[in-house]
Amino acid sequence: MAVKKFKPMTAGTRWRIGNAFAEITTNKPEKSLLEPLKSTGGRNSSGHLTMRYRGGGHKRKYRIVDFRRDKRDIEATVLSIEYDPNRTAFIALVQYTDGEKRYIIAPQGLTVGAKIISGENVAPEIGNALPLRNIPLGTNVHNIELNPNTGGKMVRSAGSSAQLTNKEEKYAVLKMPSGELRKVLIDCYATVGVVSNSDHSLQSMGKAGRNRWRGIRPRTRGVAMNPVDHPMGGGEGRASGGHPRSRSGKYAKGAKTRKVGKPSDKLIIQRRDGSKLAK
């Protein structure tokens, strides 16, 4: 993938770094795999605002993506690589030999006309899905299941991948994109390869209006509020606001966010900061 820097023809394009969409082959999605997507504007079912700074944005439709890859031992051909407004990665439209079409997360290097397959004993090639027990050590994988036959839950965003580092009796050890070493049941399926659109993080919006198109409204800083509205508000002049914290008073830095005694703690060998070795 590649990004492109725009010439400063306007104030909005001066700082804009956009996606070149070099891998995209069509701008028309498969109609049979679309679903309506309702915008909430940050409101719950009662109409109350429960999430601030959301609203507006371009109308979108949801693309039904096959995370389960449960059509086993049937070969599929890649018809197109497409943009998905609901995720950072690109998606690939594939057609199986029986005529069925599905969307999958597009791995880096997958091209139109390529053949992919999912199954127990398929070759560990880009785009193929197979159990972790049959994937060679050192292979980069994505769209990893947490429990067998439940569909991929981990490593699905643009440019991400996990590396298979070891295999034990029941578990495979994966090095996650965060650096965490984690055990996953060895019968779980994963897709071989790195997720596409790896330069997504290099993009720059260039102007506030592009965020409005994404449904993101302007955010009011805590230090700009009054004391009644935020713990960091008030003060004479432009006060710094003290220790950064949320509107409810929780500190923004250093606090542990993971629940103590979570059952999956026993599956984490090493945390992303290199601490907390499992016993």
Report the C-alpha gap between 24 and 100 in whole angstroms. Answer: 22
Residues of the chain with pLDDT under 70: 1, 276-279
3-class state of residue 155 by DSSP: coil
What is the per-residue pLDDT for 277?
58
Report the C-alpha gap between 156 and 66 in whole angstroms. Answer: 12
3-class state of residue 223 by DSSP: helix
Q: Cβ of 12: how many Cβ atoms within 10 Å?
A: 15
Taking only the tens place, the pLDDT of each residue in 218-238 is 999 999 999 999 999 999 999
- Cβ within 8 Å of residue 68, ≥6 positions away: 149, 150, 151, 152
What is the per-residue pLDDT for 182?
96
- Quickly list H helices, the chain: 11-14, 208-213
Please check whether residue 195 is in contact with residue 142, taking contact to mean a CB–CB distance below 8 angstroms. Answer: yes
3-class state of residue 5 by DSSP: strand
Report the C-alpha gap between 203 and 2 in whole angstroms. Answer: 10
- Cβ within 8 Å of residue 237, ≥6 positions away: none
What is the per-residue pLDDT for 183?
97
Report the C-alpha gap between 171 and 161 in whole angstroms. Answer: 18
All structural domains of the chain? 21-200 (2.40.50.140)
Q: Provide the residue count of the chain.
A: 279
What is the per-residue pLDDT for 106?
98
